[in-house]
Amino acid sequence: MKPAWLLLISVCSATLGQIFFKKGVFVTGEITLKESVIGDLLKLVLNPFVFTGLVLYVISTIIWLIALSKTTLSFVYPFASLIFVLVMLSARFVFLEPVPTIRYVGIAVICVGFLLSSLA
């Protein structure tokens, strides 16, 4: 498989991981880590959504490393910027979070930067 496809799969896995993390902390509630740090961390990790997010992150990292072994870091790294774009769009459309116009401008700038860096 070509590195670009591997990287897109990795980016999608990381994005899904973030979606599951957000759902997990929404279910768990606000995390303070003040009273029982170990208990709070266990509660988080044992939350099925957070656990799924962690698994997706492990998968994303493994695929990322495979892609990195096939091409240069300067080609691979701009793909990480796509995670910011997809997570922000997911926040808007999955969680119905408000996204100010200036963030959409930021997404556009990231996309232009990604396209320019991937053409070289």
Which spans in 29-100 are helix H? 37-46, 48-70, 73-76, 80-93
Cα(42)–Cα(84) distance, integer angstroms: 27
pLDDT in tens, 25-55: 888 877 776 777 777 788 888 899 999 999 9
pLDDT in tens, 45-87: 889 999 999 999 999 999 999 999 999 999 999 999 999 999 9
| Number of DSSP helices (H) and strands (E) in the chain, helices first | 6, 0
- Total domains in the fold of the chain: 1
Q: Yes or no: say if 33 and 40 are a contact pair by the CB < 8 Å rule.
A: yes
What is the domain range of residue 75? 3-119
Is the pTM above the cut of 0.85? Answer: yes
Residue 31 tokens read as: 């995390």
Cα(17)–Cα(55) distance, integer angstroms: 8
